[in-house]
Amino acid sequence: MGLGDRRRVVLTAAKLAVIVAERGDAELAGRLWGAIESEQTSRPVRQWENDRQKLEALVLRVDGPAFVRARTEGRLLSIAEAAGFEMAPAG
């Protein structure tokens, strides 16, 4: 995945986290946000900081025990796994 693709994946996942947070799904929002944090920790995502603070503030509106637990779990997942997308084997 190229640098532009990585940023796009992170930004799309963050926007999805905002949507599910606004719908009250603290677990999915937390899982996604944890995976995003893990992705940016493994290797910085260029130009992500411009959007991160604004989107994070929206996601953190559902903060609570379920969100915190799912966020911790999400840090162990890829963004695709956190979103519920399983990669099918090639072939």
- Please answer whether residues 33 and 17 qualify as being in contact, where contact means their C-beta atoms are separated by less than 8 angstroms: yes
The pLDDT value given to residue 64: 95
**Number of domains the chain is built from:** 1
* 17, part of any domain: yes
Query: What residues make up the domain containing 61?
Result: 3-82
Within a domain: residue 49?
Answer: yes
65 domain-assigned: yes
- Does any domain span residue 47? yes
State the Cα–Cα distance between residues 45 and 3, nearest whole angstrom.
Answer: 8
Q: Please state at what angle helix 26-42 crosses helix 49-59, rounded to 10 degrees.
A: 160
- Mean pLDDT in residue range 41-62: 87
Overall pTM surpassing 0.95 (yes/no): no
What's the rounded Cα separation, in Å, for the pair 21 and 71?
12
Q: Tell me if 27 is assigned to some domain.
A: yes
| Predicted local distance difference test score (pLDDT) of residue 21 | 97
- Residue 24, amino acid: G
- Model confidence at 1, pLDDT cuts 50, 70, 90, reads very low
